[in-house]
Amino acid sequence: MLLERVLGAEAAYKLERRIEWRFKKSGLPERKTLEAFEWAFQPNLDKAFVMELGTLDFVRRKEDVVITGAWGTGKSHIIKALGLRACLQQMAVRYARGVDLVADLHAGLADATYPQRLRRWAVPDLLIIDDIGLGQVKQREDEPTAAHTLFNLIDRRHGHASTAFTSNIKLSAWGRYLGDATLAGAILDRVTMHAIRLDINGPSWRQHVANERAKKRGAKLPDDRPDPEVDAQP
């Protein structure tokens, strides 16, 4: 019995180490969980639907996920929680904000490491591309458009591995944001073919926290969230 307990403890320790290694390698910036999500704050969000995503069956089916909605509605929380669950199930995960992913691939064009960088982004079981619509995705005139860069990656992953996106802009605005409406359309054609869609239509949690703090000071803050269509600048 003692030997069994020792071996069990050793196996558990090794498993914990492997999971921790996967989390660090994933690039996830924080450990978000679905259990900690403020469900009551987004009453229109279908909790059962999101928890079903949490089973990660979509990853096993090699389907994609697209979560849209305004700033502060919990999109990134949910997508990071799915990433953490994938790490716990010993799946290969990589996370990046859209602007950082494009910048990394553009850097590969500059230092001749593009094939290796593209391969690293292409192989994970679950690739999370967060915050499409935030940040400047094209820095120099001699760079290819973000749409061209993302198309090469999504085309390679399509049907072979799952990609999960969050977008702060409507999908119809991707062309303007990514700099090429035709290629953006080709990306969306591949993504939406087998995509699970979730749109979160609700208030901003960060705005709520700011308002609560303002109330304590006897002040009131306006709702300054920008229009996602107006802000979708390339």
Domain that holds residue 179: 25-30+41-216
Q: Is residue 20 part of a domain?
A: no
**Cα 161-195-172 angle, rounded to 5 deg:** 120
Q: Is the pLDDT of residue 150 over 90?
A: yes
Q: Is residue 229 part of a domain?
A: no
- Domain of residue 52, CATH code: 3.40.50.300
- Predicted local distance difference test score (pLDDT) of residue 230: 43
Q: Is residue 119 part of a domain?
A: yes
Q: Is the pLDDT of residue 69 over 80?
A: yes
Q: Is residue 124 part of a domain?
A: yes
- Predicted local distance difference test score (pLDDT) of residue 92: 97
Residues 6+ apart with CB under 8 A from 120: 94
- Total structural domains in the chain? 1
Among 222, 177, 181, CA closest to 68:
177
Q: Which is more confidently placed, 69 or 225?
A: 69
Using an 8 Å Cβ cutoff, are 163 and 67 in contact?
A: no
- Predicted local distance difference test score (pLDDT) of residue 204: 74
- Predicted local distance difference test score (pLDDT) of residue 71: 83
Q: Is the pLDDT of residue 207 over 70?
A: no
Q: Is residue 2 part of a domain?
A: no
Q: Is residue 150 part of a domain?
A: yes
- Predicted local distance difference test score (pLDDT) of residue 18: 82
CB atoms within 10 A of CB 42: 20
Q: Is residue 111 part of a domain?
A: yes
Q: What is the pTM of this model?
A: 0.84
Q: Is residue 222 part of a domain?
A: no
Lowest mean pLDDT: which of 53-67, 140-154, 179-193, 212-226?
A: 212-226
Q: How far is CA 89 from CA 33, 59, 84, 198, in A?
A: 14, 11, 9, 23
Q: Which two tokens stand for residue 114?
A: 């593009």
Between CA 45 and CA 106 the distance in angstroms is 36
Q: Is the pLDDT of residue 33 over 90?
A: yes
